[in-house]
Structure 1
Amino acid sequence: MELNVWEGEYKAVPTNQLLDTTKNGGDEVLNLSSSGATQPVTYSWENITVFYETTPGNCLTRLCKKSPPIRKKILDNVTGIVRPGEFLAIMGASGAGKTTLLNCLTFRNSGQLKISGERYLNGAKVNTDTLARISGYVQQDDLFISTLTVHEHLRFQALLRMDTHLTYEERMTRVEEVINELGLTKCSGSMIGHPERGIKGISGGERKRLAFASEVLTNPSLMFCDEPTSGLDSYMAQNIVQVLKNIASTGKTVVCTIHQPSSEVFALFDRILLMAEGRTAFLGPVGDALSFFSAQGMPCPPNYNPADYYIHTLATVPGHEVESKKKIKEFCDTYDTSDAGKSVQEMVIANRSIKSSRSQELDLEPVKIQRSPYKASWFAQLRAVMWRSFLSVRREPAVLKVKAFQTIFIASLIALIFQGQTYEFQNVRNFQGALFVFLTNMTFQSVFGVINDITLELPVFLREHFNGMYRTDIYFLSKTTADLPVYIVFPFLFVAIPYYAIGLNPDVGRFFIACGIVILLANVATSFGYVISCMTSSTRVALAVGPPFIIPLLLFGGFFLRNGSVPVYFDWLRYVSWFMYANEALSINQWNGISFNDTMSPCPQHICTEDYILKQFDFNPNNFYRNIGCLFALIVGFRIIAFLVLLKKTYRKN
């Protein structure tokens, strides 16, 4: 599927490109046109205070007595502002609160935090949807689909994140511009790669530039970056920060957190926000920081990196916590009453008092909670995500080769172990064992295959979903559809190799029915794998949780324990066990039309028939279509549960 099939999906329509604030029911709200990301913005925050509540004690003490929660203050009345064309760096020692502040400014990762304070964009109170539409956020961890090339990744981003009025040609032109601007031309055709999965790809610096390219693509007015130099050498770190400096020089507003920048990197910042113990120690131009520290009796030594000096000065020294905190409190109190602190307060108040001009109130639509955050239509999202999902499956030959080897090897091993079974009563158990091995192997292969795949991809999905790229149902539908051929071909191959070698029912129709049953079971197991993957937080947890759920269902599959011998209090488990339905269906299919003479058998008149053999396992020939229907029902049921769990994971309060 080529991307140019969507060329007709995007039609140019007239639009305003204004960013404005208007009154709505007495409250100021931000108004955006469909491409408001080109208007310079001033972002301010006032009295941001963050608490984290924890309940003391362990589980038993919490049950026995209700202790009042302990509140830990992480941020304390932090106020600041950043204007168009400025590059603001948030700095501080570990635990100073810089990452928490960035999360508050971007409305991300709030979790159990209690946040108070206001945030303003061009004088209007800002909410999550508004900020997402006009800003870009480069997170510390680079998350990509490793099998895409750099150019394919940016094309995918362009199709889903750029404004609806842009044509396909304009989107692709913008992709080429960004690739050239960020120096990605050399690696544009290279696969992104994933070192941990053994997929070779681009370098760390190129990955970081690609992360910037993904955000710059939409021409945002406001850029946030969390530790952009993390894991890079000094040269590449300076290169990345220079990219941010260039972005700010075009009139955009750039905010980043950074840890111990070199002196060359530090010189690129326009303004710095120094934090200590959750408070603002200084906010202002880089050059003013030296004089401010000198005025407090703490001049920076000559030939010393100012960034290192500021961080060391405002850090809590182990073993001298009381003295350090006292010094930090005095320093922050001095800043609050200084000319620099008062100047910031005045600018924040001035930004909050901005009134919208009449000339900017035309043809604008207020951003509301109910407005869809997605810029592409449902079908455009489906086409793009479906293309990427199929491409991702096809581009992982190592995974497909491993699955093929695993399938062929185990199927051949089963054929060698069970080969040449003759129709004697004493071999009935061998036939049933071979059938049950089909079921158990396909179950574990399918469940663990899905877990290893989905849990690694979920962080990418969550980040892209919260960026407003595509819906949850789009991702789930595309992923399950792309995986479907794999879980049809390999189960068929697994049954086909040993089927006739074992001596199972020779009728060709029965062979294809057996393959169909195993394919159904593989897809039930796959659906169950989706449930486990969506419920858990990591691959390790999912792999640990899977077997305890599967083993009880396996025990009630009718092989180890006859259906009639299941304890009444566990009888309900049989009806959610795909092993039971598939085992009974395979057994009915296997013994259909089979009868043989065995003078040593207990069969009536020593003639073993289908009914007699199935009766030994408490299987009912009339249940065949019921079992097939129940397998389909389990596929649908598990996938609905998985989708609802994933939907809950993507839900967040406004």
Structure 2
Amino acid sequence: MDYIHSNPTYTVAVTAETTTHGVDFPDVNIEVKELIVSKNDTSDNGTIRAPLLSWNEAHHSMVDSMETVTISWENVNVHVKPKNRACCRGPDPNVVPKHVLRNVYGMVRPGSLVAIIGASGSGKTTLLNTLTSRVNSETLSASGDIKINGIDVGTGIRNISAYVQQDDMFISTMTVKEHLTFRAMLRMDREVNKKRRLQRVDEVIQELGLKKCENNIIGDPGRLKGISGGEMRRLSFASEVLTNPPLLFCDEPTSGLDSFMAENIVQLLKNMADKGKTVLCTIHQPSSEVFALFHDVLVMAEGRVAYMGDTDGALQFYKQTGYPCPTNYNPADFYIMTMAVIPGKEPECKQKIETICDKFEETDRCKSIKNEIKSTAENPKKTGIIYEEAFSNTSRYEAPWYQQFVAVFARSTKTVIREPMVMRVRAAQTIVLALMLSLIYLQLDLDQPGVMNVNGVLFLVLTNVTFSSVFGVLNSFPLETPIFLREYGIGLYRVDVYFMSKCLAELPSFIFIPIVFCAITYWMIGLYATFEAFLVFTAILTLVSNIAVSFGYIVSTAANSVTTALAIAPPLMIPLLMFGGFFLNSDSVPPYFIWLEYLSWFKYANELIAVNQWSNIDSIECEVNGTIPCLYRNGEAVLKYLNFEADNRWLDWGLLFAMLIVYRFIAFLILFIKARKSKN
């Protein structure tokens, strides 16, 4: 930057371009008075051109003009809610709730990278979840004063922060750039145009070192080969920093990474903090090189604060307390080991932890933190973009409904097409089963024994289409539900958008596959040979296939895993199969099970395909003096024996369409309830 000297006391205007929340803010002007410049900064022509401030000072001045975040918290307590007793009697009053966090306090200013460390069970992740308003209200109760720039924003903290969770969750068949573009389209401010969104995606890819793998699929370890673990971790950060949030939380960002990649990730966090962000992260067993990158450290033990401040001060505090860190020993390991509860020595370890925590509360450093928290609360900043976003009453979704639908539908379609086990395996399975079934029932004779064969193959075809469709979607939701719940929780898209996109993306396969199956089996088996009858037969089985998909969606959305879905689907389907009119005549259904018959699409579909096959057959071969009795002289006799009525065809069509809609609505309702519970 050039600054022209004309007077010992003068005004300088600095112009720069910056970006916040994914939006450009050009011409940020900083007015500086009484600039003092030495003679050494004079150029040959007598004009002084000198840096106004050091890089760090200039940077922080720029940051202040853009708005930053100071987060503070005090008296934070979290208890585990006791479980209810049997017979709806509520929790046992004699059970003392476990105290997970005990009067936790702290403060982090802009430009700081803070490490929250401690032994397992010390309360690190619980603190992070509490600060971000992500505590599970069903199992935990939380209280305390958590403030942004001195203001209690409540759940509004989610609007101005990003949370990189410990588990990396992505749609495995998407590429890195496609995933980031999807996030940019749905999460960036509505005012940002598409060109700027795509430009921001390229910027983030470049900044986080993802350029070489931007066109590679993300993959799924152990199932689908994709990008490396380090690249996947960086992609998690890229997903969250697209909107350039001023506040960033990270839960164990180095878990599962080698030492080099762990240092790379923490250096990335430090770079973000150096740009003015407020960054807090829990970290598990960092190396000494990684630990040295942090500006401050918060040591947790048994749900209490054992120390908070700069890393050098931590060594001095523990030394004064009587626990000096050995020479050439990793300080992070020392803090964790010192504050750990060793099995078999619980009373001594807990007493030591309480002593250290109590001594820290008596230090000037602790008193200074609490005074700063109080001072910030007494002088809150109630203006600016951050304040407006935190208390925004507008929709929690940045993108409008149609934009959400376009983005989610495009992603769902790519997933269906690229999933290696979906189209190819399902198509191959359909062709093989169709050929096998057709060869077994090849060109059936229309005689007395043939009636049983035709009825059997009709119901077998119906059963095959149903089971293949149900089992084809049992993994649709359990595999993606964790990703959906996370994306729904941060307001990427609505539940109805996701559900409709999934249904429409998978619809073509459940239309195409039944048509292929019918085209092979109908003519090879030798059913009623008219094109009109073939079209009706195909339409019935296509509708049945989609009803079965709807039923599969109910099981899929209700189950928490694919294993559970596979376990509960057959027992639910067998009763519906039994009341389909083949194994049990409709007149023989017990009255107390009549409701199951009405819920079975097998009953209505079986009646339709039987009517389609037999209603136009006027005669069936019958040997008068033969050994085989003449049971059926025409198709009408067959329908009468099965207790089917041709007049019911329109009722059957209507009920099948109603089932298609009702079953799918039930599946949507289950998914909606799950989403709402996870959000709360």
Compute the TM-score of the two structures, normalised by the length of structure 1. 0.90
Equivalent residues of 1:55, 1:70 under 8 A apart: no
Q: Which residue of 1 aligns with 2:279?
A: 254
Distance 2:616 2:420 in 1: 42
Asked if the contact 1:597/1:606 (under 8 Å) is kept, the reply is no
Amino acid at match of 1:120: K
Partner amino acid for 1:55?
K
Q: Distance in 1 between matches of 2:385 and 2:174?
A: 42
Post-superposition shift, 1:66?
Answer: 6.0
Residue 45 of structure 1 pairs with residue 69 of structure 2: no
Aligned to 1:24: none
Distance 1:39 1:643 in 2: 41
SS at match of 2:433: helix
Map of 1:116 onto structure 2: 143
User: Do the aligned partners of residues 566 and 196 (structure 1) sit closer, same or farther apart at CA in structure 2, a change above 3 Å counting?
Assistant: farther
Q: 1:234-273 to 2 correspondence within 5 Å?
A: 234-273=259-298
Q: Secondary structure at the match of 1:542?
A: helix
The 2-side partners of 1:459 and 1:356 are apart by 37
Q: What is the aligned partner in structure 1 of residue 49 from structure 2?
A: none
Q: Which residue of 2 aligns with 1:580?
A: 603
- Output the CA distance in 1 between the equivalents of 2:414 and 2:79: 45
| Matched residue SS, 2:141 | strand
Matched residue type, 1:615: K
Task: Give the match for residue 32 of structure 1.
Answer: none
2:323 is paired with a residue whose SS is coil
1:269-418 to 2 correspondence within 5 Å? 269-356=294-381, 360=383, 365=388, 370-418=393-441
> Letter of the aligned partner of 1:507 in structure 2?
T
Q: 1:370 to 1:526 in 2, by over 3 A?
A: farther
- How many angstroms apart in 2 are the aligned matches of 1:398 and 1:64? 47
Contact 1:37 1:221 in 2 (8 A): no
Gaps of 5+ in 2: 1-22, 29-63
Q: 1:521 aligns to what?
A: 544
Aligned equivalents of 1:190 and 1:152: distance in 2? 10
SS for the counterpart of 2:211 is coil
Q: Which amino acid aligns with 1:39?
A: E
1:56: Cα distance to partner? 7.8
Q: Quick one: which of 669, 676, 679 aligns to 1:644?
A: 669
Q: 1:576–1:15: structure 2 CA closer, same or farther, 3 Å change rule? A: farther
Does the alignment pair 1:430 with 2:478?
no
Higher relative contact order (CA 8 A, sep 6+): 1
Superposition deviation, residue 38 in structure 1: 5.7
**Hey, what's the Cα distance between the residues in 1 that align with 2:209 and 2:433?**
48
Structure 1 residue 567 displacement after superposition: 0.5
Residue aligned with 1:302, SS: coil
| Native 8 Å contact 2:157 2:390 kept in 1 | no
Q: CA deviation at 1:388?
A: 1.1
> Paired residue for 1:126?
153
Residue 216 of structure 1: CA displacement? Answer: 1.0
Alignment partner of 1:189 out of 190, 200, 215: 215
CA contact (8 A) 1:423 1:596 kept: no
Q: Does the residue aligned with 1:265 lie in a helix, a strand or coil? A: helix
What is the CA RMSD across the aligned residues, in angstroms? 2.6
Which amino acid in structure 2 is aligned with residue 301 of structure 1? Answer: P
Query: Compared with structure 1, are the counterparts of its residues 624 and 70 closer, same or farther at alpha carbon in structure 2 (3 Å cutoff)?
Result: farther
TM-fit CA distance, 1:48: 0.9
Shift in Å, 1:596: 2.5
How many Å separate the matches in 2 of 1:391 and 1:628?
Answer: 33
Q: Which amino acid aligns with 1:118?
A: D
Name which of 445, 450, 459 aligns with 2:482. Answer: 459
* Partner residue in 2 for 1:27: none
**Unpaired segments of 5 or more residues in structure 1?**
1-11, 18-35
Q: Which amino acid aligns with 2:133?
A: F
Deviations 1:333-391 (A, max 9, x none): 1112222221221121122222337xx46998575585311111111111111111111
Partner residue in 1 for 2:639: 614
Cα distance, 1:607–1:499 mapped onto 2, change above 3 Å: same
Q: Note closer, same or farther for the CA distance 1:606–1:102 as it changes in structure 2 (3 Å cut).
A: closer
Give the CA deviation at 1:126.
Answer: 1.8
Distance, in Å, in 1 between the alignment partners of 2:227 and 2:385 is 46
Aligned to 1:214: 239
How far the C-alpha of 1:15 sits from its partner, in A, is: 12
In structure 2, the CA distance between the partners of 1:604 and 1:52, relative to structure 1 (3 Å rule), is: same
Do the aligned partners of 1:55 and 1:68 also contact (CA within 8 Å) in 2? Answer: no
Q: Number of aligned pairs? A: 620
Answer with 365-374 or 231-240: which moved more.
Answer: 365-374
Which of structures 1 and 2 has the bigger CA Rg? 2
Amino acid at match of 2:78: V
Q: Distance in 2 between matches of 1:286 and 1:127?
A: 30
Deviations 1:404-445 (A, max 9, x none): 111111111111221121111222222122121222222222
Comparing 290-299 with 644-653, which one deviates more in the overlay?
644-653
Which residue among 124, 128, 132 is the counterpart of 1:106?
132
The 1-side partners of 2:543 and 2:373 are apart by 62
What SS does the aligned partner of 1:148 have?
coil
**Structure-1 separation of matches of 2:333 and 2:302:** 17
Q: CA deviation at 1:252?
A: 0.3
Instruction: Give the direction of change, closer, same or farther, for the CA distance of 1:522–1:607 in structure 2 (3 Å limit).
Output: closer
Q: CA deviation at 1:630?
A: 1.1
* Aligned counterparts of 1:418 and 1:287: Cα–Cα separation in 2: 83
What do the CA deviations read for 1:581-608 (whole angstroms, capped 9, x no partner)? 1111111111121133333489998762
The whole-number CA distance in structure 2 between the counterparts of 1:638 and 1:142 is 33
1:486 aligns with 2:509: yes
The secondary structure found in structure 2 opposite 1:90 is: strand
1:158 aligned onto 2:178: no
Moved over 3 A (4+): 12-17, 62-70, 360-370, 600-607
Which region of structure 1 is more displaced relative to structure 2, 130-139 or 233-242? Answer: 130-139
The 8 Å contact of residues 49 and 78 in structure 1, kept in 2 or not, is answered as yes
Q: SS of the residue aligned with 1:196?
A: coil
Alpha-carbon contact 2:540-2:608 (below 8 Å) kept: yes
Distance change in 2, residues 1:430/1:312 (3 Å): same
1:452-505 Cα shifts (integer Å, max 9, x gaps): 122111111111111111111111111111110011011111222111111111
- Give a deviation string over 1:218-248, Cα, whole Å, max 9, x none: 1010111111111111111111111111111
Secondary structure of 1:386's match?
helix
Corresponding letter in the other structure for 2:76? I
Structure 1 residue 560 displacement after superposition = 1.0
Q: Secondary structure at the match of 1:186?
A: helix
Structure 1 residues 66, 254: CA separation in 2 closer, same or farther (over 3 Å shift)? Answer: closer
Q: Are 2:71 and 1:75 aligned? A: no
C-alpha separation between the residues in 2 aligned to 1:339 and 1:363?
32
Match of 1:230, SS state, is coil
